[in-house]
Amino acid sequence: MNSSGAISKLQAFDLIRENGKKEVIGRPNLYVTTDYFLDYMGINDLAQLPDVSDLDLVDQETELFGQKEASEEEVSALTEPHENHLDELETEFKELEQ
């Protein structure tokens, strides 16, 4: 998932800032909220934010993005054309090898 656009916007509005790199493979950037973030949210401390477990994010994501569990028929309709194309490519490749 590419989140660079969202991160850039949050930084542009001075809501977050970089705060080092995580000591793991790839060394991703670490970010922290700014004092402006707290002022903007009208809170004094991050502990005043709602607990993530209290939020019903799955339903909100489904509503926003129209995501749903795909039926077997939908999955098949999406994958069959690709499987046929792969079979054609495999046949062409074998012909080229000969």
Q: Which residues in 15-32 are b (16+ Cβ under 10 Å) and which e?
A: bbeeeeeeeeeeeeeeee
Q: Which band of pLDDT confidence, cut at 50, 70 and 90, is reported for residue 86? A: low
Rounded to two decimals, the pTM is 0.51
Q: How far is residue 65's CA from residue 58's CA, in Å, rounded to a whole number?
A: 10
How many other CB atoms sit within 10 Å of the CB of residue 69? Answer: 6
Taking CA 17 as the corner, what is the angle to CA 43 and CA 7, rounded to the nearest 5 degrees? 95
> Which of 33-37, 67-71, 92-96 comes out lowest in average pLDDT?
67-71
The two three-digit tokens of residue 35, written as one number: 């004092």
